[in-house]
Structure 1
Amino acid sequence: MSWKASFQQGVSNFKRDNYLESLACFDEAISLGCDTFIVYDSRAAVHEKLGNYKAALIDAKKVVDTAPDRWQGYARSARLFHALQKDEAALKMIDLALERIKADDTHRSQELDALKYQAIDALNAADERRRARIAKTAYHIGKLPVEILVEVFSIVVAADHAQILKLSHICKHWRGIAIETPSLWNTLVVSKNRPKRKIQLWVQRAHKHISVLSFHHNILEIDWSSILEELIPLSWYSLRSLTVSGRLFSQIYDFLRRLSKTDVIPRLKHLDVTDTDFTKISSSFEDYHLESLKISGLTPAMNELWTRVHRLKTMNIEHAGWLDISPAVLANPSLESLILNNFIPPPSNVVNDRVQLPNLLCMKLNNIPAPVSEVTRSFVAPNLQILHLFSVGLSRDGLLEFMRAPPLALRELRLGSCTPSINSLKIILAGAPLLETLQISGVHGVVNDMLHFISGTNPNDNHQDVCPLLKHVDLSNCADLLTGSAYSLVKTRLRSDQLVIGDESQPGCRAEIESLKLDGCHNIEGEMLPWFRGKVKVFSCVYMSKKEANRRR
């Protein structure tokens, strides 16, 4: 039997979809000595129908080798590569096939063009799947230089020193970087929980260079000696901040004296020695580098100290009178932040020259029973940007007296548990064009009028842009706050409700409210909460805590 008869029999079986019989006939034709490309191409077609793509590719390659100038082998290879999801190879075969097809054979050209578009679409889809898989599984941050990753870690640790422990437990890569970067361990807070073990670990990883050292007040006195012994290896001259309270400070000073390193104290930039008798130690040094001091219980005996402490930028004083504080303030003209807790103003019958504080940017007064006007007549702060008044006495126009000149630089105003008059508030707010943050909490009788004044919805008020940059508002625990007042504040500042030409710097364009806190405001209507949440990025309205709710049940 000749190979031609076997070939013809194979073709007949192929047309009748008898692929196995057709394959046997083509095998027989090749075994009888047929070596033309048409037989290999026919057998490749059978394998393609049977799903034997790899076997079909072998025959298609034989067709290309046998007849490199014919299009059939390239076209079939293209279809097979596409079926095997090897579309880059399929595109190459399609281009080679198109080069060999006659110009007038439009039917086959169209088929190959259609196949080409399918291959391109398949490649694009595969690329999208690959990108999605990489986005889910790839470790992009691992490609960052170590220096950049250390900078990121430093930002996190600067906000909360305890985060270094979490960072060192994320993965092996992060742990290696965290442990080998001493600057990430330079803040040591000692408490009653395994203090000696923590000191050993921090001193080791910081390479002895601790710059911030803080002792928690809950440390047992019985542990003081053993804790200080663990601190002997410390590079004390790297220390820049020390926080300690009570008699432990005296213990630390005696400990440093035994090490002949008491001059560490005047080198400090920050010192927090609340509930401590600092007088005995302060006279031991000629000059201090302190920029931040927190202390309680100033006495006239400390007045001589301020001839040596004159670089302060931040002063936080508790339980002291103005007569004791005044020398400290006068000695530090570069003071930028002043925090007074449980402050005792001077008697009303005592007349003092008003202290000028041109560099003061932040003032916080807490728990001052006397009228704040007794405080305001003691100093002047024309460039104040941040003002906090909590639990302070306010006479009818006390707040206005506090800000005798328009507060043009004021950016943050927080009032709590006090009783300002609405007229004083209006004058202050009208003169604060840069105000961005406003907190009125636990205050009654003024909040609704104030919000209508800011919104410009009160017909009795002169129309003007009040606080155009205001973005953050906290009205917590204002029991008389009404929904309509809060609604007006947000509504009148929405971009869609303002005629805006240009950017926010243009007159008449007011910033949108970005955060609004209405916790403890029981008059806020529940059905309006979805509207507030849709218009304000950060919105909170908690009527009561879970603990309070359980107590009322």
Structure 2
Amino acid sequence: MSSEQSWKKFFVEGLYHLRCQDIDKALESFNRAISVANDTSYVPYDSRAFAYEKQNRLKDALRDAEKTIDIAPEQWHGYLRSARLLAALGQTDDALWTCSLALERLGDGTEHEARRRELTDLREHLEAQTTKCPVSGMPVELLLAIFQLSRNPVVISHVCHQWREIVLSQPTLWRSLVLTAPAEKALLKSRYQGAGGSRDLRGLLATLRELDWTEIKECHMEGVGAESFFSTLNDGTTFLHQHLETLSISCERPYGVIVGREYIELSWENLRAFSVINGGCYWEQLSTSMRHLTSFEYKLESAPGIFIGFHSFLEANPGQEKPVIASADKPYPGRPRAPVPLTLAHLRHLELTGVVPFRVERGNSSLPSLQILRMTRLKGAASMLTEFVKDEGTPFAELVELSARTCALGSEILSAVLLQAPKLEILICTGDVVNAAVEFLTKRPCWAHIKDPASEDPTPILTILPILCPALSVLDLSQSADLKTGPVMRMVKERIALAGSWDGGRYHLPGEDGDRGISCIQALKVDQCPHIEEDMLPWFQKNVNV
């Protein structure tokens, strides 16, 4: 007898016991059928769920109904039973969602009319319950205030009919404009292909011009010429771009969209966040129209960046807090020397990949508030850090994270940075300097050069610390072929010993009133480090939390 014949034999026995109202024996037969069938059919699971439901074992029945869905996701059986069980268990939202899925799979055939009626009645009952919940009785003004905090009207509109009516009637909730491309995708919605493309845009623009754009704060575009679109949309009295606070532009191929080449008279006076992925930028032109950015992201995949005039763009936006710049690690044309000193007093987070997009020389670039510095495959990383270390305008006293992935730094410059970073909590380092870095982090006591942030005197103060970078708690040394087990163990031990000493490794930083205590290593990552001895991993797991 084949396995299929065997499970069907037990399955038929179970159906016989069900008809005889002997649920326990029916369950025994269904259990044997499931064991033999080995998940080749959803039928025994669906029948066992029915038997569990007869015994009011709802959670067991729901588990089998969900297994039915796993085995046969295109069948309606598991969804219908799950919807009924979820409703009985009080899981209203999940029951409503499962009702919709069951109705989709039942289709329009007349043979399922009774089941469709059952699901429709169940859905109406559940929707009536949601409208009776306490939050639905709140005044519309309070609901609207809550909805505005969520910043996602699309999701909210799917909760219930009442919320959908409120969301659709409130234009202040709709603050984002999303224009997608390439044209093959966008044509389904707007027939827009960008400049020189489809002529069917006129009807869309005529409709868009009638809307109130003053509440639109975010715009995300894929493969669309932003400037051309906004210039066409503006009718002389309505200027969409003037109200935008966030603008992101992306395309699939490098330089698929050029920003700043045309319509440079557009003024982005309220724009605070600007992102360009795989697009080209005319930095000189943008520096005349974008002057209030706090967040800036520029990424080019598999292509070198062209940064002519980039220094002027940075100079025009001194309030930047988080620039992220990534391009292929190839030389790019036109790398001019910085004409005037550049100070980004508010910059706290800097990410660079590929090449340094501006000339860093002593005295011409200052980042006094830098807290997070991330570098990946950055050419010129060592020379950039060298100039920052020498420059009095870029102290590392506030630095809490330093990441240098696949960067040729050299032990001397890394040591110089660490000596100026007493608040460093996260260090990510790969390459040939990792052993030296670990040795530095073991030094105790340590004389560090730290600038007093409360003092106007830029001269660093020679400060004694119990160990280098005493606040360090996260260390990632992954993909380091030369990393040895011994130095890492000594570094972890030294910090544990200092933290457990009678004074907890207390120390004082210039400009601070109280003392600090040394931190142990809380997270250590040594993936793909072949010289880390496997038999020492239990020791690390015992002494390091993560």
Q: Shorter-chain TM-score category?
A: 0.5 to 0.7
Paired with 1:429 and 1:480, the residues of 2 have a C-alpha distance of 21
* Helix, strand or coil at the partner of 2:436: helix
Unaligned residue ranges in structure 1 (runs of 5+): 1-136, 140-168, 191-199, 540-553
* Helix, strand or coil at the partner of 1:494: helix
Paired with 1:280 and 1:224, the residues of 2 have a C-alpha distance of 27
**Paired residue type of 1:493:** R
By how many angstroms is 1:454 displaced? 0.6
**Paired residue type of 1:446:** V
Q: Which moved more, 1:381-390 or 1:232-241?
A: 232-241
Partner residue, 1:488: 490
Contact 2:242 2:270 in 1 (8 A): yes
Q: Give 1 or 2 for the bigger CA radius of gyration.
A: 1
By how many angstroms is 1:508 displaced? 8.5
Contact 2:371 2:401 in 1 (8 A): yes
Partner residue, 1:222: 187
Q: Which moved more, 1:400-409 or 1:173-182?
A: 173-182
Please list the CA deviations of residues 146-191 of structure 1 after superposition, one character each: whole Å capped at 9, or x if unmatched.
xxxxxxxxxxxxxxxxxxxxxxx9x95699699974226534799x
Of 312, 336, 339, which aligns to 2:321?
336
Of 378, 400, 423, which aligns to 1:392?
378
Contact 2:234 2:240 in 1 (8 A): no
Paired with 1:203 and 1:452, the residues of 2 have a C-alpha distance of 59
By how many angstroms is 1:351 displaced? 6.1
* Helix, strand or coil at the partner of 1:384: coil
Contact 1:413 1:438 in 2 (8 A): yes
Of 375, 380, 403, which aligns to 1:414?
403
Closer, same or farther: CA 527–386 of 1 in aligned 2, 3 Å: same
Partner residue, 1:435: 424
Closer, same or farther: CA 299–242 of 1 in aligned 2, 3 Å: closer
* Helix, strand or coil at the partner of 1:236: coil
**Paired residue type of 1:417:** T
Which protein, 1 or 2, shows the higher relative CO under an 8 Å CA cutoff with sep ≥ 6? 2
Paired with 1:247 and 1:290, the residues of 2 have a C-alpha distance of 18
Aligned-pair identity in percent equals: 23
* Helix, strand or coil at the partner of 2:214: helix
Closer, same or farther: CA 351–328 of 1 in aligned 2, 3 Å: closer
* Helix, strand or coil at the partner of 1:360: coil
By how many angstroms is 1:339 displaced? 2.1
Please list the CA deviations of residues 500-539 of structure 1 after superposition, one character each: whole Å capped at 9, or x if unmatched.
42785567941122222222223222232233223323x2
Is residue 264 of structure 1 aligned with residue 249 of structure 2? no
Partner residue, 2:230: 253
Paired with 2:482 and 2:220, the residues of 1 have a C-alpha distance of 42
Please list the CA deviations of residues 382-421 of structure 1 after superposition, one character each: whole Å capped at 9, or x if unmatched.
3311111111124765532243244112111111111110
Please list the CA deviations of residues 110-156 of structure 1 after superposition, one character each: whole Å capped at 9, or x if unmatched.
xxxxxxxxxxxxxxxxxxxxxxxxxxx9x9xxxxxxxxxxxxxxxxx
Partner residue, 1:380: 366
Paired with 2:150 and 2:337, the residues of 1 have a C-alpha distance of 50
* Helix, strand or coil at the partner of 2:385: helix
Partner residue, 2:312: 327
Is residue 182 of structure 1 aligned with residue 147 of structure 2? yes
**Paired residue type of 1:529:** L
Equivalence map 1:47-446=2 (5 Å): 181-183=146-148, 186-187=151-152, 204=168, 209-214=173-178, 220-225=185-190, 236-247=213-224, 249=226, 253=230, 256-257=233-234, 263-275=239-251, 276-279=257-260, 282-295=263-276, 297=279, 299-300=281-282, 303-318=284-299, 320-342=305-327, 350=337, 352-368=339-355, 374-376=359-361, 379-394=365-380, 398-405=384-391, 406-440=395-429, 443-446=430-433
By how many angstroms is 1:298 displaced? 5.1
Paired with 1:248 and 1:189, the residues of 2 have a C-alpha distance of 26
Contact 1:189 1:213 in 2 (8 A): no
Task: Give the paired residue count.
Answer: 358
Paired with 1:475 and 1:438, the residues of 2 have a C-alpha distance of 8
Please list the CA deviations of residues 1-24 of structure 1 after superposition, one character each: whole Å capped at 9, or x if unmatched.
xxxxxxxxxxxxxxxxxxxxxxxx
| Structure 2 length-normalised TM | 0.55
Closer, same or farther: CA 397–237 of 1 in aligned 2, 3 Å: closer
Closer, same or farther: CA 415–215 of 1 in aligned 2, 3 Å: farther
**Paired residue type of 2:214:** Y
By how many angstroms is 1:424 displaced? 0.8
Contact 1:212 1:240 in 2 (8 A): yes
Closer, same or farther: CA 212–500 of 1 in aligned 2, 3 Å: farther
Q: Which has the higher helix share?
A: 1
Paired with 2:299 and 2:340, the residues of 1 have a C-alpha distance of 23
Paired with 1:374 and 1:437, the residues of 2 have a C-alpha distance of 27
Paired with 1:387 and 1:272, the residues of 2 have a C-alpha distance of 23
By how many angstroms is 1:205 displaced? 8.7
Closer, same or farther: CA 412–271 of 1 in aligned 2, 3 Å: same
* Helix, strand or coil at the partner of 1:448: helix
Closer, same or farther: CA 414–234 of 1 in aligned 2, 3 Å: farther
| Structure 1 length-normalised TM | 0.54
Contact 2:264 2:289 in 1 (8 A): no
Paired with 1:349 and 1:255, the residues of 2 have a C-alpha distance of 35
Paired with 2:380 and 2:439, the residues of 1 have a C-alpha distance of 23
By how many angstroms is 1:439 displaced? 0.8
Contact 2:370 2:396 in 1 (8 A): yes
Contact 1:298 1:324 in 2 (8 A): no
Please list the CA deviations of residues 454-479 of structure 1 after superposition, one character each: whole Å capped at 9, or x if unmatched.
122799x9985211111122222112
By how many angstroms is 1:447 displaced? 0.6
Contact 1:480 1:521 in 2 (8 A): yes
By how many angstroms is 1:261 displaced? 7.8
* Helix, strand or coil at the partner of 2:542: helix
Closer, same or farther: CA 256–470 of 1 in aligned 2, 3 Å: same
Contact 1:504 1:511 in 2 (8 A): no
Contact 1:345 1:375 in 2 (8 A): no
* Helix, strand or coil at the partner of 2:416: helix
Unaligned residue ranges in structure 2 (runs of 5+): 1-88, 92-126, 156-163, 193-200, 252-256, 449-463, 509-514
Contact 1:306 1:327 in 2 (8 A): yes
Closer, same or farther: CA 214–516 of 1 in aligned 2, 3 Å: farther
Closer, same or farther: CA 222–213 of 1 in aligned 2, 3 Å: closer
* Helix, strand or coil at the partner of 1:303: helix
Closer, same or farther: CA 283–395 of 1 in aligned 2, 3 Å: closer
Contact 2:219 2:244 in 1 (8 A): yes
Paired with 1:216 and 1:376, the residues of 2 have a C-alpha distance of 41
Contact 2:297 2:324 in 1 (8 A): yes
By how many angstroms is 1:325 displaced? 1.1
Please list the CA deviations of residues 416-470 of structure 1 after superposition, one character each: whole Å capped at 9, or x if unmatched.
1111101111111011111111111xx32211121121122799x9985211111
Partner residue, 2:539: 531
